[in-house]
Structure 1
């Protein structure tokens, strides 16, 4: 069951800010508890996952249902396609996605593997664009999918864009868990790994986020050299070694990133 937890500091900031609209925040929290593993949820499930009183969750669901974002049959609730208007508004207004998509399409076709674009949101990498090669590809990370930054190539690249102080605070706040036997969960080792990857200009993660899958990522820098996103190419371990991944895919990624940077404002 997904549950939205906030730190004590976040809750205090919300209480102290006179501009904070608590009812809107609660409505957004309800929308966020639905997902691939929870397409349909009962009122009790929603209330528990969003950390809300049952009566409050019921009023929010009723409001969202009237607005066309949620449907219910008296027992189970689920999201409606209108929710996509929120995501499409972001994607259509995001300059990075608009500028990067053509380059990613070319990159995926050249590499014959899936290429993804991600941004950093707290301690998570959020995938905001994706390109597939011409051949049919039946699996992969969908737009909006989130993964822990500490065990993904795009995530480590994005963490490398933080200052040393910000990076240390971010890693210290994490609660890393082993997604696979190879996942690095020691915080000092994670810190050292991100700093090392930053100096190399890329990150290669080998079966830390998913068994049998490795990926390599580079930063996407703005005109002022600030890291605003990361692009990666991933492949199953049976198709390519780590060495070949560096030799073949790294130059492609670096070329794509370098060609786009000057266009980002």
Structure 2
């Protein structure tokens, strides 16, 4: 390793000297808003972020002054300026833009919703999505997070990790039964990850939402590392799991392979 490479590696691995805690707190405040938390009080923000009320207040007032949040004096909510952060990612990274037309074509052919996700902490975060005419009630969109242990996207992503790392991640997750069908025990989740490694795809059958089935396949780079996962979701009344696999898995594979070829040309 050359000297400048060694120095850079040391700097990356030494966050204590460069880490800006106030910036972290500001980002934590921005990302605590969501569909279920669209308007929040100071105390609610403090609880969701784990900050002290004083720290939460400083972050909220700073973001308000910068135009990322608005307030009525009691509650705070997001303003369009926050979209600049998401736009910077979507416009600067090739994966979402390359995946979008493939997801649109897949959704048009199947008349179902298709998504691309990546692993973020304990969740799969959707970075590209195409919604079909048959809308699902989950209301997912770009930036939505799905618990990795019980979503098809998340399982496809976790299965791409070394088994020991996947086990450590699953053990460290907050795992709850979101529906009566949710698989959430560590042994059962690990069984499903092993099945995904063997079969090349992951499934979810009413575990996130009653009445919705989904299937996901991993997207790999030239070294075989899983960098994303692509999924398709259907209503249970349309087809069972066997029919879902037979009808849509080949199309999902083709879309995934096309994306991988465009992302990592030989």
TM over 0.5: yes
Alpha-carbon separation, structure 2, partners of 1:131 and 1:76? 33
Q: Deviations over 1:84-112 (max 9, x none)?
A: 11011111122211111111111111111
Counterpart mapping for 1:88-167 below 5 A: 88-133=87-132, 135=133, 137=135, 139=137, 140-167=139-166
1:32-47 aligned at under 5 Å gives the runs 32-47=31-46
Question: Partners in 2 of 1:138 and 1:210 — Cα distance?
Answer: 10
Aligned residue for 2:31, secondary structure, equals helix
Asked if structure 1 preserves the Cα contact closer than 8 Å seen for 2:111 and 2:134, the reply is no
Matched residue, 1:5:
none
Q: How do 1:97-246 residues align onto structure 2 when only pairs under 5 Å count?
A: 97-133=96-132, 135=133, 137=135, 139=137, 140-246=139-245
Structure 1 segments unaligned to the other structure (5+ residues): 1-13
Measured in 1, the distance between the counterparts of 2:14 and 2:63 equals 24
Q: Return closer, same or farther for 1:51/1:171 CA change in 2, 3 Å cut-off.
A: closer
Distance, in Å, in 2 between the alignment partners of 1:53 and 1:189 is 38
For 1:61 and 1:67, how far apart are their aligned partners in 2?
10
Secondary structure of the structure 1 residue equivalent to 2:140 = coil
Pair 1:112–1:17, CA change in 2 (3 A): same
What SS is found at the alignment partner of 1:228? strand
The number of residues matched between the two structures is: 251
Poorly superposed stretches of 4+, deviation over 4 Å: none
State the Cα deviation string for residues 178-229 of structure 1 (Å, max 9, x = none). 1111111221121121011111011121111111110111111223322111
- For 2:134 and 2:106, the matched residues in 1 are separated by 16
Unmatched runs of 5 consecutive residues or more in structure 2: 1-12
Q: Over residues 117-174 of structure 1, what are the superposed CA-to-partner deviations in whole Å (9 max), with x where a residue is unaligned? A: 11111221111111123x3637431111111111111111101110112112111212
- Distance across 1 between alignment mates of 2:87 and 2:105: 23
Q: What residue number does 1:21 align with?
A: 20
- Structure 2 CA distance for aligned equivalents of residues 138 and 179 of structure 1: 17
Q: TM (normalized to structure 1)?
A: 0.89
| 1:82 aligned partner | 81
Shift of 1:15: 11
Distance 2:204 2:52 in 1: 41
| 8 A Cα contact 1:223 1:264, kept in partner | no
Aligned to 1:54: 53
| Partners of 2:15 and 2:223 in 1: CA distance | 35
- By how many angstroms is 1:60 displaced? 1.7
> TM-score, structure 2 length as denominator?
0.89
Tell me if structure 1 keeps the 8 A contact 2:136–2:235: no
- Distance (Å, rounded) in 2 between the aligned partners of 1:97 and 1:141: 16
Cα distance in 2 between the residues matched to 1:105 and 1:197: 25
Change in CA separation of 1:132 and 1:191 when aligned onto 2, cut-off 3 Å: same
